[in-house]
Structure 1
Amino acid sequence: MELEAKLRNQNKKAKNFIKEGDIPAILYGKDVENIPLSVNQKEFEKILKEAGESTIINLIIEKDGKREAHPVLIYDIQEHYLTHKPIHIDFYQVKKGQKIKAHIPIEFIGEAPAVKILGGILVKNLDEIEVEGLPQDLPHIISVDISKLDTLESKISLKDLNISKKVKVFTSPETIVVSIVLPQEEEVSIPESPTEVKIEGEEKKSEKTVEEE
């Protein structure tokens, strides 16, 4: 997969790039000089959907009349706090044979019978896993089939997932990824007994009756 990038004029404000349909970016890496760039927003979002943040893409940069291909990972994405659209991207250039760390997203697929039939509640404890390995060995996504959760005690731990032994996983294999829990019963509040209310007029009337006697 390839993504075209242009050298960025650092005197130009970031919001002006975004208005023109581009996203400011930077390329860096081990023994690599930082290069300010910009990429087309639509093209980037298309690549992100296909490659994710753990697949190497070729970043094509035209420099001094030559097109250079840089093998990179989409290392970090800054999003607008309201629109959640990307406003800045970090590309990390990788070297052949260099292991890297990455956060691999978890995708939950299927439907849990324990939820649909038994009325249990699905609890997702993880949404990504940090791993380390060669770029070509990193999974794009980790799928978890929740259709196996068929009892109210069902759970899926990290050790149950199909993750390549070529990558190192930093999370404990005993960590529960997803589980079923019983719905909590609502507490029924019992109203307190009515408080005895004394009426001032009645007290005075009673006192007067005693005096008359």
Structure 2
Amino acid sequence: MLTLNAKFREERGEKSNILRKNDYLPGIVYGKEIGSLPIKVNYKDFERTWQKTGEGTVINFKLEKKEKTSEYPVLIRAIQKDPLSEKFLHVDFYQLPMDREVEVTVPLIFEGEAPAQRDLGGVLIKNLHEIKIKALPKNLIAHIKVNVSSLTKLYDSTKIKDLSFPKDIKILADTEDIVVLVGKAEEEKIEAVPEEIKPEEIGVVGKEKKEEEEEKK
């Protein structure tokens, strides 16, 4: 289990911007036992933790408050990012009751190469990118691996039921749902470009129509 160090945050409101300039990320940690506490974590430490865990892995959260350190199992519950720079602005941690199952969404990681794509010119279509699961905090996983090397023919597919999951994980999705398949690449159809109409031909057409109208009078 990864450990993330945090400190109780005295800075509030606009002072949070000062924290960010000093490479700290403001946030809160909340839960039934801990209540709701303002905290701050080192920005680079959090960034490394986020890359390894996302929202689906339990983190050992070491909180320092008034020279006393307490440890809690937490999940990253929500993050806020700057829409332009993509930098983290705020983070919420949820303190878990270890004896209660929780629901989380876990990302899929695709591995290998599909022979039907490599040898037959197929197109790899990823229908799902994450799956919702339920488990006790100690049994949660960071991601689910999907190996596509078994897709040897066009229209071969992998369904949720074909994936490997730890026995303590409950899948909160239809196991018949297709995760990934190899489709057939559509041939591009080039439409015939209509021949350019010459200006003189437009004139002739207009002249003939005018003559027809005069004959009817």
Which band: TM-score by shorter chain? 0.7 to 0.9
Spell out, residue by residue over 1:141-195, the C-alpha distance to the aligned partner (whole angstroms, 9 max, x if none). 1000011111111110001000123222111001110111111122221344666
Distance 2:45 2:206 in 1: 84
- What displacement does 1:16 show? 2.4
Matching of residues 149-188 of structure 1 within 5 Å:
149-188=151-190
Q: CA deviation at 1:24?
A: 1.1
Cα-to-partner distance string for 1:38-61 (whole Å, 9 max, x where unaligned):
100111112223333222222111
- Identity percentage over the alignment? 37
TM-score normalised over the length of structure 1: 0.87
8 Å CA contact 2:82, 2:89 repeated in 1 = yes
Counterparts of residues 57-136 of structure 1 (less than 5 Å): 57-136=59-138
Distance in 1 (CA, whole Å) between partners of 2:113 and 2:195 is 48
User: Bigger shift: 169-178 or 7-16?
Assistant: 7-16
Per-residue deviation, 1:14:
3.3
| TM-score normalised over the length of structure 2 | 0.85
Distance 2:205 2:181 in 1: 61
Tell me the alpha carbon deviations over residues 96-122 of structure 1, each in whole angstroms, 9 at most, x when there is no partner.
211111111100011111111111111
* Consecutive unaligned residues in structure 1, runs of 5 or more: 207-213
Structure 2: state its 5+ residue gaps: 212-217
Residue type of the alignment partner of 1:183: A
Alignment-derived partner of residue 197 in structure 1: 202
Query: Structure 1 segments of 4 or more deviating over 6 A?
Result: 200-203
| Deviation (angstroms), 1:35 | 0.5
Q: 1:13 is matched with which residue?
A: 15
Alignment partner, residue 47 of structure 2: 45
Q: Is the contact made by 1:54 and 1:135 (CA closer than 8 Å) also made in structure 2?
A: no
Shift of 1:200: 8.3
Q: 1:148 aligns with which of 142, 147, 150?
A: 150
Amino acid at match of 1:138: L
AA partner of residue 188 (structure 1): I
Greater mean deviation of Cα atoms: 51-60 or 92-101: 51-60
Separation in structure 2 between the aligned mates of residue 128 and residue 119 of structure 1, nearest angstrom: 26
Across the two proteins, how many residue pairs are aligned to each other?
207
